[in-house]
Structure 1
Amino acid sequence: MCSHYFFTAIADLEIRTTDLLAAKAELERQQEEEKLKIEDKVLSRILDYEAAQRQHDLLTSSLENLEQQRKVMMIGYKFGQGSTN
């Protein structure tokens, strides 16, 4: 009679162990999925930042060119090479 309870208890523990291992595997899968999502978001943000930096650099360069053109025009006006008409 005691051996029946013993084997039933062992079977219950084995079922619980299997359930826990399955739950652990599912949690690990979800963790890996979340890790990949975060990596994708980080990569996307880095690419966005780099694109914004390139745009900033381009605009800064354009602004510098316009400033140089303005200075050249001012010098030209100063020496009578242009008009305001």
Structure 2
Amino acid sequence: MILSLYWSKMTARGSLVAMIVGFLCVPLFKFGAPELAVVGDFFGQLGELPPAFLLSGLAGVATSLMDRKGGERVLGAASDIDHAAG
């Protein structure tokens, strides 16, 4: 949702997927990643929020780029706003 403030191509479906991925990644990086042999200490010290935030943003961008109908709605709304303002 933060990304939608800075990126005009963010769609509703992309926001929804980003929220779901972020929600699922927090327990994964909190409880699962610190148990990994090679990178467990790194994730234990890093915390769960930075990697969850990163994966959430990537999922939102990828979904928004693949969502053609949502992208058309976003562009249509943007042109309506431009037309009303101008």
- Structure with bigger helix share is 1
| Highest RCO, 1 vs 2 (Cα 8 Å, sep ≥ 6) | 2
**TM-score for both structures, normalised by structure 2:** 0.26
**TM-score for both structures, normalised by structure 1:** 0.26
Largest Rg, 1 or 2: 1
